[in-house]
Amino acid sequence: MLNRLWRSVGLAVVLASLTSGAFAQAAYPNRLITIVLPFAPGGASDIMTRFVGEYMKQKLGQSVIAENRPGASGNLGAETVYRAAPDGYTLLTAPQLSFSVNHLTNPTLRFDPQKFEPVSVLATYPYVLFARADLPANTFAELIDYVRANPGKLNYASPGVIGMGHLAMEAIKLREKVDIVHVPYRGTALALTDLAAGHVDLLIDSMIAAGPHVESGKIKILAVGGEERMPAYPNVATIAEKLPGLHFYTWMAIAAPPGTPKAITQLLSTTIAEALKTPEAKEVFKSLQVDPFGSTPDEMASLIKEGYETWAPVITKLGIKAD
């Protein structure tokens, strides 16, 4: 009996040793990490993702690549990550609407975007209300007065249906009960080109893309969607100064497939936060006219909830659906 007892103890020690070794071998990360961007290359999200990816490579000791997988309004790349193994080796970079209300505007979506595991919000940035240079209104208040006097005369461009620019303008229309015609485009570049040429009247978008057109005088800024005025344009009022509680800003974030262990998402989040505190990050993100964030997973989850509570009523009331 004593021999059998010692054999049992010995077997337990061997099993414990093997299990411990397996965990040691599986220490995260031990191979390539891929961050999927569901857009065409070249945008601000590309730059932000590649910046934090390089820091992650140095800090975690494994290669990190950014892979563009555009298509289906960002859903092709998002679904790829959603269905990937929940092991931290396939991640997603996407804007807030992709996580908060995508399922409302895409009823045939084959995945639940709210089940992604939050990792970190990379940056936040306000949306801005732009106008063609010769529009007979120079402030948001003047714009509303003009629209009331000329219902249905003005139009607004958007980079596409259900984007932030579309939802923001529809929220203004609901709040102020005014009539402005929607002209959807396929992308920001085309919308900005027509705004600068005077073919459309208004556009809500970020300074990232529109900045050069403002500097050239081809378009002008009527209002800022953030909670505070922009330091570079202190004389431009926020929309909330006229419509309290109405804020238009977005954020870009990294998430992991559903079921990814908290230890992994926390490690990634901490590493990204460190990256965004570096002087290099401040320089790069300033050039993009965005504010580096580096949130915790819980903070990102709260922002997703906030986005849902802000935009779900607008989407539901207007019955907005993707094309």
Q: pTM, whole model, 2 decimals?
A: 0.82
Does residue 201 or residue 315 have the better pLDDT? 201
Q: Whole-angstrom Cα distance, residue 30 to residue 27? A: 6
Mean pLDDT of 73-82: 92
The matching CATH number, chosen from 3.40.190.10, 3.90.1150.110, 3.40.640.10, 3.40.50.1820, for 128-241 is 3.40.190.10
CATH superfamily, with its number, for domain 31-124+250-318: Bordetella uptake gene, domain 1 (3.40.190.150)
Q: Whole-angstrom Cα distance, residue 137 to residue 237? A: 14
**Residue 306 pLDDT > 70, yes or no?**
yes
For residue 25, what pLDDT is reported?
44
Does residue 284 or residue 18 have the better pLDDT? 284
pLDDT in tens, 24-43: 346 999 999 999 999 878 77
Q: Do domains 31-124+250-318 and 128-241 have the same CATH topology?
A: yes
Q: Exposure of 18 by Cβ count < 10 A (0-12 exposed, 13-18 middle, 19+ buried)?
A: exposed
DSSP per-residue codes, 243-292: STT---EEEEEEEE-TT--HHHHHHHHHHHHHHTTSHHHHHHHHHTT-EE
Enter the tokens of residue 18.
Answer: 């093997």
Domain extents in the chain:
31-124+250-318, 128-241
For residue 288, what pLDDT is reported?
86
For residue 1, what pLDDT is reported?
44
CB 210 within 8 A of CB 130: yes
Mean pLDDT of 104-125: 93
DSSP summary character for residue 238: B
| Range among 55-59, 230-234, 315-319 rated most confident | 55-59
Helix 279-287, helix 44-60: angle, nearest 10: 170
Enter the tokens of residue 41.
Answer: 């290359």
For residue 204, what pLDDT is reported?
95
Least confident of 61-70, 82-91, 307-316: 307-316
